């Protein structure tokens, strides 16, 4: 029976991944910032077969409490077989430009809190010498874009830090998976224009679940063809890229 910690458990992708683990009878600790939503997710996963050991209320803006989150999860589950870090915020960048403090807050939500959680996880997983961690980053972190300036910067930081953690934990037998979704049809992206590139959270979750359980790859683009798209994007000269408004 898998012992699973999901941070950001009320997000659409995390809920879908949680349902896949629930179907296998996993024991779970679920972390979210909205009690009503988290209670609903707990009830849903329990009806699907999960044993929800406990739920924790945590706001990513309180990133200094990250050690508490990890300590509580470890105490509840004993060991952590699977950790999925899936929380985040996607603001309208045009609303943030006049407010430096809001840009910084969004960076803390999307990057600083993830760095803090991973930092708190490292000694736990070192001691276990086993386990897998999945961290949801984004293709938005590949290059800075005017429409997602702070979000992209935060995801770039998450990708880089996660790679460092992967290298550190590799000798300890711990896998660290960087997950880079493209556009996913979730409440967080509701304000973005819908395109044929949008994937469903259920399809994305199935691919994440397989990657967590099958032991590969280290970096997961989901859907897979985003790897090809971003390879082209990275090759565009800055003189061209700065004119793109997508």
pLDDT of residue 199: 78
Q: What is the pLDDT of residues 132-183, one digit of tens each?
A: 999 999 999 999 888 899 999 999 999 999 999 999 999 999 999 999 998 7
Residues found in the chain: 246
88 has pLDDT over 90 = yes
pLDDT of residue 186: 63
pLDDT of residue 106: 97
pLDDT of residue 185: 72
Average pLDDT over residues 66-78: 97
pLDDT of residue 188: 57
In sequence order, what are the residues at sequence separation of 6 or more whose Cβ sits closer than 8 angstroms to the Cβ of residue 179?
134, 135, 136, 137, 208, 211, 220, 222
Would you place residue 242 in the very low, low, confident or very high pLDDT band (cuts 50, 70, 90)?
Answer: confident
Q: What is the pLDDT of residues 34-69, one digit of tens each?
A: 999 999 999 999 999 999 889 999 999 999 999 999
The CATH superfamily holding the domain 3-241 is NAD(P)-binding Rossmann-like Domain (3.40.50.720)
Q: CA-CA distance, 140 to 148, in Å (whole number)?
A: 7
pLDDT of residue 246: 65
pLDDT of residue 123: 98
For the chain, the maximum distance between any two Cα atoms, rounded to a whole number of angstroms, is: 53
195 has pLDDT over 90 = no
Residue (of 143, 63, 157) closest to 108 by Cα position: 63
231 has pLDDT over 80 = yes
Span of 36-40, 72-76, 195-199 with lowest mean pLDDT: 195-199
The CA-based dihedral angle spanning residues 112, 149, 182, 43, taken in that order and rounded to the nearest 10 degrees:
40
107 has pLDDT over 90 = yes
């Amino acid at each position: 029976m898998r012992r699973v910690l999901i941070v950001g458990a009320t997000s659409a992708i995390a809920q879908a991944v949680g349902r896949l683990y629930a179907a296998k009878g996993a024991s779970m600790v679920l972390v979210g910032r909205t009690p009503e939503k988290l209670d609903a997710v707990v009830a849903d996963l329990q009806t699907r077969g999960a044993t929800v050991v406990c739920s924790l209320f945590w706001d990513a803006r309180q990133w200094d409490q990250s050690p508490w989150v990890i300590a509580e999860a470890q105490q509840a589950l004993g060991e952590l077989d699977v950790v999925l870090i899936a929380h985040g915020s996607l603001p309208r960048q045009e609303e943030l430009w006049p407010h430096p403090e809001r840009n910084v807050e969004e960076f803390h939500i999307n990057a600083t809190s993830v760095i803090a959680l991973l930092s708190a996880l490292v000694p736990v997983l070192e001691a276990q010498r086993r386990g897998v961690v999945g961290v949801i980053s984004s293709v938005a972190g590949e290059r800075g874009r005017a429409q997602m300036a702070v979000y992209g910067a935060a995801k770039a930081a998450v990708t880089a830090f996660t790679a460092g953690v992967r290298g550190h934990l590799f000798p300890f037998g711990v896998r660290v998976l960087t997950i880079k979704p493209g556009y996913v049809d979730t409440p967080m992206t509701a304000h973005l224009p819908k395109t044929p590139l949008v994937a469903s959270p259920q399809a994305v979750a199935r691919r994440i679940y397989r990657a967590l359980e099958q032991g590969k790859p280290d970096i997961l683009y989901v859907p897979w063809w985003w790897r090809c798209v971003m390879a082209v994007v990275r090759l565009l000269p800055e003189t061209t890229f700065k004119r793109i408004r997508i």
